[in-house]
Structure 1
Amino acid sequence: MTVVIVGAGPVGVTAALLLARQGVPSILLERHDDIYPLPRAVAVDDEVQRILQAAGVAGAFAAISRPSRGLRLVDARHRVIAEFARSSVGVHGFPQTSMFDQPALERVLRDELARRPLCELRSGVEVVAVREGSVTYLKDGVATTIEADAVLGCDGANSLTRQAIGASWHDFGFAEEWTVVDVRTDAAVRSWDGVDQVCDPRQPATFMRIGEDRYRWEFRRSAGIDDSQLRALVAPWVRPAPDEKFEVVRKARYTFRARVADRWRRGRVFLLGDAAHQTPPFVGQGLCAGLRDAANLSWKLALVVRGADERLLDTYEAERSPHVRRVIRIAVAAGWAMTGGQDRAASLRHKATAALCRMPGVPGLLNRERGVARGPLSRGTTCPQPRVGGRPLDDLLGVSFAVVAREPTPGVRAIAAALGAPIVQADELDEWLRRERVDAVLIRPDRTVVDVVPAGASEFTGVAGWARLVTGRTACP
């Protein structure tokens, strides 16, 4: 089987790496000859860093990123309204938010890609046709058609793949013009190593430190910003002396949009990342959403290749689309509250929205199944990642379903055997399960909790549907 991935940005390359880990080969088609050199995405959360861990680049990513201390809401005079801290080590084993330069992340991913014999990158090509079963591209004027058992459209907001499957946008009615400025400077910048959100409806702005000498400002502007205007706008944070470097790496105008494709799949042609959804940046989930797409789909596609029920692929859009829609609604609400409120309740909305959107645990909370009792290990949440014997839990679980259990009962062992799920036991995990008041947890390859056995019970009760899809059996022991 060969999977063709259209687009070799972070989402496409991560999808290829995750497929390779599952033993599935892929061909990536990329129109640029090399990585795109200018910065775009700048933040990921700790859950998404587990996806980078699964892709094999956790250590390399740590070397090119820096933890963010959190979010400060400030008024028009830059007085602090509220501050929301982020931990340097969250429940998933990574900083709750990490800042980075996207070209550096892409280089890390490409270097790992080059080490994977199952991944082939073809750069400098123009994809001209996407069909179920094949992709056609041009290289130096010569057309080549590749047969594809599946196609992943990671080709951005102007996706040809989205057009090919007949998808259109569902628009949430949000569109704002912003200017994004990335700067490299050795001048002293008034920064607390977190994000500043200026809650001024006349001139809302966002500021963040990305690297040792790298900073980003975002200003809501309907027109461009010249050099003198830029110096005035950044003056609350930095006033470089004539002999100090102040290099504008990029200055670009964007329309922040909120929209989701009305379909993410036709047959075995799928949409991922910006091809499927676009979100305003106010909760830092743009790239995160695309990497979650890759993590959700890759293992399902690998299982179907190995004989699982084709209907398993239906769960991709069914799970990801509601999650993305909710993230987008939160981002729109956060943007309105933090940049548009002008009445007496504005400061309250600022605080409430920031608490909802930026506090620890929000990404996992968004995954919860409706009607399921809340708790750190509820069905549909991402399982935390403690260290076991000095190693992160995910390194022990492998690429399949897995069971973490204190003393597995015969029923738990039967489910594990049916799903090909290893059972992991360790003293560190025993303490963790006791604390969460469960005896066993069934975890999917993307680290989502499928089911739990409450303390004192003996069986998983919510796994039959997954067992049928994964194993093809009508019943599960």
Structure 2
Amino acid sequence: MTPRVPVVVVGAGPTGMTAATLLAQHGVECLVLDRWESIYPQPRAVHLDDETYRILARLGLREEFAAISWPCHGLRLIDPSMRVLAEFQRGAEAGRHGYPEANMFDQPELERLLRTNLKRHATVTLRCNTEVTTVAQDGPGPVRVDFTDRDSGTRGSVLADYVLGCDGANSLVRDAIGATMHDLRFEQRWLVVDVATEADLREWEGVHQVCDPNRAATYMRVGRHRYRWEFRLRQGETADDYRDIGHLHPLLAPWTGDIPVEALEIVRIAEYTFRARLADRWRDRRLFLLGDAAHLTPPFIGQGLCAGLRDAANLAWKLAGVLDGSLPQHALDSYQAERKPHAHAMIGLAKLIGTAMTRGGKPGNVLRRLVVPLLARMPRLRRIVLDSETPALHRSGLVVRPRLRRTLAGRLCPNAALDDGRRLDEIVAGRFAVITASPASPAQHAEAERRGGLCIAAPAGTDLHHWLRRGHAQAVVVRPDGTVLRAGRDLTELCATLPRFGAFVRGDRP
């Protein structure tokens, strides 16, 4: 008899591991299948913002990620002669969510943290070196997942109530859904170079972006002794042209200066094609797409991996609620309705930044030299460049907002510090919550608790109170992923509209 599990996650990268861990925190049994024997050892993604750092903290990795990450101090725009056009500085201190707003890291180190952390959850099984060969659903019943052990050749099958396709740009699950990746008309070939060195480069601790159609480049420090460069490849060039350090060093020299070549350890040289693509459908009945299976984002704003973790955080609690019966099936319709427009907006922003920095020929360089320094002096523009807040989610069954009036619904509630020194997420711990500018009555507290949630006061003078006032709200209902479901002024009504969400079973707290 074919075994059956509630959820199969295809792919054990950061998105798949995050989804599985969040589901495990709600007591959901998961089987994670990954075709590779172990973690891919080469660095890929290097940036997470404070919104996605917050997701890692919910997994229980707040301190662990802090130990392997490196705060980024902003963005410096440079012309082809390495003259600074503008510098947008941010501090390394915590932002609205309690974490630095830009964080650099080494992806293999993050993946090791995620896999080690997953072992704390007995409801999740990770099977590596296991190739998924078929994902098939027949009508409304469970999904059949066929797989092969790549060592022994042994074949197996499992039935799943739901399957999450976290299997990357060449997704098998996407093929099973019949989804198409729409080309959003951005494609550039880049050389990516990762270097380790004990030498001090003595460079400013932010991202350096060389704005040059002839040889656009990016430099960033990603760890105590780790650095990354990205150079746009010219017509006819390939990564093989730069595997010899003698050919590569002239590209690095503006930053490495007189540091001997022998002091630079080349960790990786690779060619990447930066693309902008978005799947037309993210779901077919019991199949879902997450991460690169659903979207590909150019790297200019560092949001590729962030988008995948947001997918996992958005879907996991909804799936847990449907599985335990505390949320209706149609709650899952909100996943694509919320995440697809958000991902599309972030891809559009990355395209805009990439185009502004890398195109326009010589006239573009002249224009940047004249305009960028002037724009950088505008306080409003500086705030926009440095603000890590991403757009509000669109209306859905779980984001209730008027069409013509600005509201906090769909926005991420700040992970603000409370009176006892703890932050909001530590108190809420994966439940629904009502945040109120005025104290809740015993009856209102009781109603929220009866529905599996809680009420939290935001006294005058606190960050949460200011946030409510700026949003013209007396109170808001906040979902388990931190997103505002609805905002209003009638606290009793808001408490009565809390979904009866299932119990949070995690034994530990963030």
Higher mean Cα deviation, 427-436 or 230-239? 427-436
Give the TM-score normalised by the residue count of structure 2. Answer: 0.85
What pairs up with 1:385-464 in 2 under 5 angstroms? 385-388=415-418, 389-405=420-436, 406-408=438-440, 416=448, 419-425=451-457, 432-433=464-465, 436-437=468-469, 438-454=473-489, 457-458=490-491
Deviation at 1:241, TM superposition (A): 4.1
Deviations 1:19-74 (A, max 9, x none): 01111111111111111100000000001111101111111101100110011111
Alpha-carbon distance in structure 1 between the residues aligned to 2:465 and 2:488: 10
Higher mean Cα deviation, 399-408 or 97-106? 399-408
Preserved contact between residue 412 and residue 460 of structure 1 (Cα < 8 Å):
no
Alpha-carbon distance in structure 1 between the residues aligned to 2:441 and 2:403: 27
Deviation at 1:356, TM superposition (A): 7.9
Note if 1:64 corresponds to 2:45: no
Preserved contact between residue 440 and residue 457 of structure 2 (Cα < 8 Å):
no
- Please name the residue that 1:108 is paired with: 113
Residue 358 and residue 229 in structure 1: after superposition, are their counterparts in 2 closer, same or farther (change >3 A)?
farther
Note if 1:336 corresponds to 2:355: yes
Instruction: Please state whether the residue corresponding to 1:235 is helix, strand or coil.
Output: helix
Instruction: Please state whether the residue corresponding to 1:77 is helix, strand or coil.
Output: coil
Deviation at 1:141, TM superposition (A): 0.9
Residue 296 and residue 399 in structure 1: after superposition, are their counterparts in 2 closer, same or farther (change >3 A)?
same
Match for 1:26 among 23, 30, 41? 30
Deviation at 1:427, TM superposition (A): 5.3
Preserved contact between residue 198 and residue 205 of structure 1 (Cα < 8 Å):
yes
What pairs up with 1:61-460 in 2 under 5 angstroms? 61-87=65-91, 88-132=93-137, 133-139=143-149, 140-222=152-234, 223-224=237-238, 225-226=241-242, 227-239=245-257, 241-242=259-260, 244-307=262-325, 308-341=327-360, 342-343=363-364, 345-347=367-369, 348=371, 355=382, 358-364=385-391, 371=403, 373-374=405-406, 378-388=408-418, 389-405=420-436, 406-408=438-440, 416=448, 419-425=451-457, 432-433=464-465, 436-437=468-469, 438-454=473-489, 457-458=490-491
Alpha-carbon distance in structure 2 between the residues aligned to 1:127 and 1:121: 13
Deviation at 1:371, TM superposition (A): 4.2
Counterpart residue type for residue 340 of structure 1: R
Preserved contact between residue 33 and residue 128 of structure 2 (Cα < 8 Å):
yes
Counterpart residue type for residue 41 of structure 2: P
Deviations 1:382-405 (A, max 9, x none): 001112212221010021211122
Alpha-carbon distance in structure 1 between the residues aligned to 2:247 and 2:295: 33
Alpha-carbon distance in structure 1 between the residues aligned to 2:301 and 2:480: 26
Deviation at 1:286, TM superposition (A): 0.2
- Please name the residue that 1:474 is paired with: none
Instruction: Please state whether the residue corresponding to 2:94 is helix, strand or coil.
Output: coil
Instruction: Please state whether the residue corresponding to 2:390 is helix, strand or coil.
Output: helix
Residue 412 and residue 334 in structure 1: after superposition, are their counterparts in 2 closer, same or farther (change >3 A)?
farther
Higher mean Cα deviation, 186-195 or 302-311? 186-195
Preserved contact between residue 451 and residue 460 of structure 1 (Cα < 8 Å):
no
Residue 434 and residue 68 in structure 1: after superposition, are their counterparts in 2 closer, same or farther (change >3 A)?
closer
Preserved contact between residue 326 and residue 366 of structure 1 (Cα < 8 Å):
no
Deviation at 1:309, TM superposition (A): 1.0
Deviation at 1:185, TM superposition (A): 1.4
- Structure 1, unaligned runs of 5 or more: 472-477
Preserved contact between residue 170 and residue 262 of structure 1 (Cα < 8 Å):
yes
Instruction: Please state whether the residue corresponding to 1:253 is helix, strand or coil.
Output: strand
Higher mean Cα deviation, 431-440 or 256-265? 431-440
Preserved contact between residue 164 and residue 288 of structure 2 (Cα < 8 Å):
yes
Preserved contact between residue 338 and residue 349 of structure 1 (Cα < 8 Å):
no
Alpha-carbon distance in structure 2 between the residues aligned to 1:431 and 1:262: 39
Higher mean Cα deviation, 289-298 or 261-270? 261-270
Q: How many residues align?
A: 465
Deviation at 1:411, TM superposition (A): 8.9
Alpha-carbon distance in structure 2 between the residues aligned to 1:217 and 1:366: 33
Deviation at 1:173, TM superposition (A): 1.0
Deviations 1:158-209 (A, max 9, x none): 1111101101111111110101000011233142111000011111001000
- Please name the residue that 2:42 is paired with: 38
Counterpart residue type for residue 328 of structure 1: I
Alpha-carbon distance in structure 2 between the residues aligned to 1:156 and 1:435: 37
Give the TM-score normalised by the residue count of structure 1. Answer: 0.91
Counterpart residue type for residue 481 of structure 2: D
- Please name the residue that 1:475 is paired with: none
Instruction: Please state whether the residue corresponding to 2:76 is helix, strand or coil.
Output: strand
- Structure 2, unaligned runs of 5 or more: 138-142, 396-400, 503-510
Alpha-carbon distance in structure 2 between the residues aligned to 1:121 and 1:429: 47
Instruction: Please state whether the residue corresponding to 1:424 is helix, strand or coil.
Output: strand
- Please name the residue that 2:505 is paired with: none
Alpha-carbon distance in structure 2 between the residues aligned to 1:316 and 1:421: 21
Alpha-carbon distance in structure 2 between the residues aligned to 1:370 and 1:44: 31
Alpha-carbon distance in structure 1 between the residues aligned to 2:247 and 2:16: 38
- Alpha-carbon RMSD across the aligned residues, in angstroms, is 2.7
Alpha-carbon distance in structure 1 between the residues aligned to 2:204 and 2:257: 16
Instruction: Please state whether the residue corresponding to 2:55 is helix, strand or coil.
Output: helix
Deviations 1:211-234 (A, max 9, x none): 111000000004124222311011
Preserved contact between residue 96 and residue 415 of structure 2 (Cα < 8 Å):
yes
